[in-house]
Amino acid sequence: MEDALIVDGCTYILNRTYRATDRCHQSETCFQTITWRIDEDPPSGVCPGDIFLGCNPELPIALPRPSLQPSDFTDDCGKVTVDILDGDITVFGSRYSLTRTYLITDLCGNKQNLPIYFLNRLPSCQ
């Protein structure tokens, strides 16, 4: 048996060769490829900044649409997925906020949570 290990970033490829020989010196060879990844680092990227929507905005129209794409992030081991989670609106005094969280996941399951905060003033009652 012979092994040849190839490392390409976080991808490991083991090419294994098996050879069997009988008493008459006849041999047969077969090949096996074993591939795996070692990646403990989450994807990286920059989230848009927090947004203040001013006073008395119309909701939900005033909230910007989610803008991040998988291409906005990098990972040493390939593609990423972007899931968008909008939290509940929280009221405090005459203001309210909403947190939108981008959950970025790479092919190995490493994740990065990136929150964006939207802050507003409630409409006045005049």
How many percent of the chain have pLDDT more than 90?
25
Instruction: Answer whether residue 125 shows pLDDT above 50.
Output: no
The domains of the chain are located at 2-37, 44-121
Specify the pTM: 0.61
At residue 126, the pLDDT reads 44
The CATH code of the domain at 44-121 is 2.60.40
pLDDT tens sequence across 83-120: 888 888 887 777 778 888 888 898 888 998 888 877 77
DSSP codes, the chain: -EEEEEEETTEEEEEEEEEEE-TTS-EEEEEEEEEEE---PPPEE-PPPPEEEEES--TTTTSPPP---GGGEE-TTS-EEEEEEE---EEETTEEEEEEEEEEEETTS-EEEEEEEEEEEPPP--
How many percent of the chain have pLDDT more than 70?
90
Tell me the pLDDT of the chain averaged across its residues.
82
Query: 78 is written with which tokens?
Result: 């390939």
Q: What is the dihedral of CA 102, 92, 96, 72, to 10 degrees?
A: -20
